[in-house]
């Protein structure tokens, strides 16, 4: 039951975007830029973004050496280059739009710790440099073994270290605040606590049913176009799409006096990652320890993985150093058979932008642009 006034002025939009993460907000910004006079609404199921956009590690990254080599086992060089370029373009677009100071962007170094079983990667650096330097303009990777001792890492695990000269870091909270403010300043409406439970489309419009905490019946909204930016939650509305949730576990320490390193770090084919921020260490990953449990949309902690994150800190990253865990959390990413993000038409007047493969920071701004270009094509 809604009022006449609500029906006349508060339930109809030109565009509704589902999801207020990096991709969702970037999509609304692109929509408002292209269609400045049209009404654009964002619906977010939680009070805060529900996936990983505000729960990640703040890596502005495009792929470590071992991760790229692992991808090349099943994909062609041209596919790898195309995805690498997409990540590069997305990061550049994000930085240009918001400004480095607004998102806390810094280049304190990006490194990958190489174990005994990954020494093969050292021999492949020249190959990857030849593959990617035409795109980048210089060799992206180099050996940085001298920094292992300098940074205080255990030499028992770290047999070598590779530096990535392309990647940086940012402050996830500042980035999401800046994206939100940018969208609002353009005139975008954002409603949180709005769980979309059903979509029905025809050739002219889309009916969106949203759970209402005050009314017994779902609230029905109407839009000329709907864009799903729901990443790991997409199958809840479109169950046949090739997208699977993947939970990421994270913890952050209390400040550690005289911490020896700065920058961002990868290890174990990208399954683990850590960084310094405010003299603390943030570490995440470990999904490969328990893929079955971590293939979920439940935001919860996995004690097995959390323990392993602490073990990595104690034995590999800061051996012989006391630390206290300040916070723990998890976030929901999205994966599939391909690492290529999905940008497509799902139904009449319904579009989807999802499956970021844990690279939403890098990909979000560029795939949002692609999505709005697709919407334009369908409405010409």
- CA-CA-CA-CA torsion for 353, 53, 136, 131, nearest 10 degrees? -70
In a domain, 194, yes or no: yes
Report the alpha-carbon angle 129-130-136, nearest 5. Answer: 65
Question: What is the predicted pLDDT for the residue at 236?
Answer: 96
What is the token pair recorded at 170?
A: 């940012």
Share of the chain above pLDDT 70, in %: 100
- Looking at the structure, tell me whether residues 225 and 291 fall in a common domain: no
Output the average pLDDT for the chain.
Answer: 96
pLDDT digits (tens, 9 = 90+) for 65-120: 999 999 999 999 999 999 999 999 999 999 999 999 999 999 999 999 999 999 99
Spatial neighbors of 238 by CB under 8 A, at least 6 apart, are 228, 346, 352
H or E element at residue 81:
helix 77-98
Residue 87: φ, ψ to 5°: -65, -45
| Residue at which a domain ends, from 335, 352, 369 | 335
Query: Residue 211 sits in which domain range?
Result: 4-53+174-242+338-378
- Looking at the structure, tell me whether residues 312 and 348 fall in a common domain: no
132-149 mean pLDDT: 96
Using only C-alpha atoms, the chain has a radius of gyration, in whole angstroms, of: 22
- CB count within 10 Å of CB 303 equals 10
- Looking at the structure, tell me whether residues 266 and 327 fall in a common domain: yes
**DSSP code for 255:** P
Q: Say if CB 372 and CB 31 are below 8 A apart.
A: yes
CA 115 remoteness from chain centre: 26
Question: What is the predicted pLDDT for the residue at 379?
Answer: 77
- Per-residue pLDDT for 248 more than 80? yes
In a domain, 352, yes or no: yes
In a domain, 142, yes or no: no
pLDDT digits (tens, 9 = 90+) for 282-336: 999 999 999 999 999 999 999 999 999 999 999 999 999 999 999 999 999 999 9
- Looking at the structure, tell me whether residues 184 and 315 fall in a common domain: no
| Residue at which a domain ends, from 303, 318, 335 | 335
- Looking at the structure, tell me whether residues 222 and 365 fall in a common domain: yes
C-alpha to C-alpha distance for 166 and 146, rounded to whole angstroms:
20
- CB count within 10 Å of CB 314 equals 15
H or E element at residue 28:
helix 22-34
- Looking at the structure, tell me whether residues 356 and 277 fall in a common domain: no
Q: Say if CB 32 and CB 178 are below 8 A apart.
A: no
In DSSP notation, 308-367 reads: HHHHHIIIIISTT----EEEEEEEEEEE-SSSSPEEEEEETTEEEEE--TT-HHHHHHHH
Question: How many structural domains does the chain have?
Answer: 2
Residue 208 falls in which region: left (phi positive, over 0), alpha (psi -120 to 50) or beta: beta
Q: Say if CB 287 and CB 309 are below 8 A apart.
A: no
In a domain, 232, yes or no: yes
In a domain, 160, yes or no: no
In a domain, 40, yes or no: yes
Question: For position 23, which CATH number holds?
Answer: 3.50.50.60
- Looking at the structure, tell me whether residues 49 and 196 fall in a common domain: yes
- Per-residue pLDDT for 24 more than 80? yes
In a domain, 156, yes or no: no
pLDDT digits (tens, 9 = 90+) for 182-240: 999 999 999 999 999 999 998 899 999 999 888 888 999 999 999 999 999 999 999 99
- Looking at the structure, tell me whether residues 225 and 289 fall in a common domain: no
- Per-residue pLDDT for 380 more than 70? no
- Per-residue pLDDT for 1 more than 90? no
3-state secondary structure 215-244: CCCCEEEEEEEEEECCHHHHHHCCCCCCCE
CA 250 remoteness from chain centre: 14
C-alpha to C-alpha distance for 318 and 253, rounded to whole angstroms:
12
What is the token pair recorded at 362?
A: 């890098």
Residue 322: φ, ψ to 5°: -75, 140
Residue 149 falls in which region: left (phi positive, over 0), alpha (psi -120 to 50) or beta: alpha
- Looking at the structure, tell me whether residues 323 and 183 fall in a common domain: no
In a domain, 191, yes or no: yes
Question: What is the predicted pLDDT for the residue at 125?
Answer: 98
Q: Say if CB 53 and CB 170 are below 8 A apart.
A: no
Q: Say if CB 352 and CB 10 are below 8 A apart.
A: no
- Looking at the structure, tell me whether residues 237 and 343 fall in a common domain: yes
Residue 222, burial from CB neighbour count under 10 angstroms (0-12, 13-18, 19+) = middle
- Looking at the structure, tell me whether residues 234 and 342 fall in a common domain: yes
- Looking at the structure, tell me whether residues 238 and 342 fall in a common domain: yes
């Amino acid at each position: 039951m809604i009022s006449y006034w609500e029906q006349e002025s508060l339930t109809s939009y030109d565009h509704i975007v589902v999801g207020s993460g990096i991709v969702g907000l970037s999509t609304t910004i692109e929509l408002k830029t292209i269609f400045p006079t049209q009404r654009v609404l964002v619906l977010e199921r939680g009070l805060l973004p529900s996936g990983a956009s505000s729960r990640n590690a703040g890596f502005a990254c495009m792929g470590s050496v071992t991760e790229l080599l692992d991808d090349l086992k099943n994909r062609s060089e041209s596919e790898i280059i195309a995805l690498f370029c997409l990540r590069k373009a997305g990061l550049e677009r994000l930085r240009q739009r918001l400004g480095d100071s607004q998102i806390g962007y810094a280049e304190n170094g990006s490194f990958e710790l190489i174990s005994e079983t990954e020494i093969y990667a050292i021999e492949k650096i020249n190959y990857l440099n030849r593959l990617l330097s035409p795109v980048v303009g210089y060799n992206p990777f180099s050996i940085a073994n001298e920094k292992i001792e300098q940074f205080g890492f255990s030499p028992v695990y770290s047999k070598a270290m590779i530096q990535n000269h392309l990647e940086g870091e940012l402050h996830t909270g500042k980035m999401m605040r800046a994206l939100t403010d940018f969208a609002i300043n353009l005139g975008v409406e954002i409603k949180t606590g709005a769980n979309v439970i059903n979509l029905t489309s025809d050739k002219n419009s889309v009916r969106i049913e949203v759970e209402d905490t005050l009314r017994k019946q779902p609230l029905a909204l109407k839009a000329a176009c709907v864009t799903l930016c729901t990443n790991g939650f997409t199958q809840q509305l479109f169950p046949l799409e090739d997208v699977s949730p993947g939970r990421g576990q994270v913890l952050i320490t209390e400040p550690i006096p005289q911490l020896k390193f700065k920058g961002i770090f990868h290890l174990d084919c990208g399954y683990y990652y850590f960084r310094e921020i405010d003299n603390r260490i943030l570490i995440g990953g470990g999904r490969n320890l328990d893929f079955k449990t971590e293939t979920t949309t439940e935001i919860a902690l996995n004690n097995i993985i959390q323990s392993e994150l602490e073990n990595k800190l104690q034995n590999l990253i800061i051996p012989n150093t006391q630390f206290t865990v300040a916070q723990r959390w998890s976030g929901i990413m999205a994966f599939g058979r391909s690492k290529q993000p999905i940008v497509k038409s799902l139904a009449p007047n319904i579009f989807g932008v999802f499956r970021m493969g844990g690279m939403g920071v890098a990909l979000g701004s560029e795939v949002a642009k692609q999505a709005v270009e697709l919407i334009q094509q369908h409405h010409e």
